[in-house]
Amino acid sequence: MPEYLASRADPLRPAAQRASEEKGDPHLRSCNAVIGYHIHASDGDIGHVAGMLIEEENWAIRYIIVDTSHWWIGHQLLIAPQWIHEVSWPEQRVAVDLPRQALKDAPPYDSSVPVDRSQEVRLFKHYGRASYWMSETHK
């Protein structure tokens, strides 16, 4: 069973480091650079990036933690990186290929409970998407 590490923004990250990252390769960014970016669903804004879950074994980003509390009395939820349609660095926006209602109705993410395979199955089934673990076993 995969184990996940949570990645959160470092509010004390020096401005010089942020500026250095912005001048570098536009394809290479820190995970923390995306924290706080707005999540844009296929039909409008829905929340912001609150963190990421990274698989300890291979350092793969498995999930983006989305906080929807600014849009309604929301909750945190998970989306998989493969559902991201576009990341706009200048607009600080992450566009996902999912409608707002699907995100609003998504199973809530509770950081105090480790993500297990049954939760992942429920999540992928909710979104009607193929699981990453099936494609990895067929490679």
Tell the burial category of 133 from Cβ atoms under 10 Å away from its Cβ (0-12, 13-18, 19+): middle
Q: What is the pLDDT of residue 6?
A: 66
Q: What is the pLDDT of residue 124?
A: 93
| Kind and range of the H or E run holding 51 | strand 44-55
**What percentage of the chain exceeds 70 in pLDDT?**
75
The total number of structural domains in the chain stands at 1
CB of 10 within 8 A of CB of 30? no
Query: CATH number of the domain that 41 lies in?
Result: 3.90.50.10
Mean pLDDT estimate for the chain: 81
Enclosing domain of residue 84: 4-137
pTM metric for this prediction: 0.77
């209602």: which residue's tokens? 101
User: What is the tens place of the pLDDT at every residue in 56-90?
Assistant: 888 889 999 999 987 777 789 999 999 999 999 89
